[in-house]
Amino acid sequence: MTQMKTIQGLYKEETYKILGAFFEVYNEMGCGFLEPVYQECLEIEFGKQAVPFLSQKSIVLEYKGNKLKHIYQPDFICHEKIILEIKALDGLIDENRAQLLNYLNATKFKVGLLVNFGHYPKLEYERFVL
């Protein structure tokens, strides 16, 4: 039980601060814009809130020890340990969840956030912990 609680609470403070930035952007911009607009707004907001981040950093993928030509570019990596994937859709679907889970598995990161700015009337987000 303690192990499960520890895993669920992994990076709790960092996640809370990131979610605050998401809500700030959503409250200011609302829904209806394309992902690049929210990407840029989050870059500004992360800077204002002192959330360390890398935007669209290229990550090399491997298959059975072989580096692939195709790379993965997460929307954000925050605190050097949390992957963020942003969407601007009517609602999140299983393919979005599978995408984030694949990214977590490929990078060996433990925590990921999937956020959807296109949902009305409120921000939609999910937290994943491996």
Q: Hey, which bits of 1-130 come out as E strands? A: 53-55, 59-63, 66-72, 76-78, 82-87, 111-116, 124-129
* Its pTM surpasses 0.95: no
On the 0-12 / 13-18 / 19+ scale of CB atoms within 10 A, 67 is exposed
Residue 80: domain span: 2-129
Number of domains in the chain: 1
pLDDT tens digits in sequence order for the chain, 130 residues long:
444 445 568 999 999 999 999 999 999 999 999 999 999 999 999 999 999 999 999 988 889 999 999 998 999 999 999 999 999 999 999 999 999 999 999 888 999 999 999 999 999 999 999 9
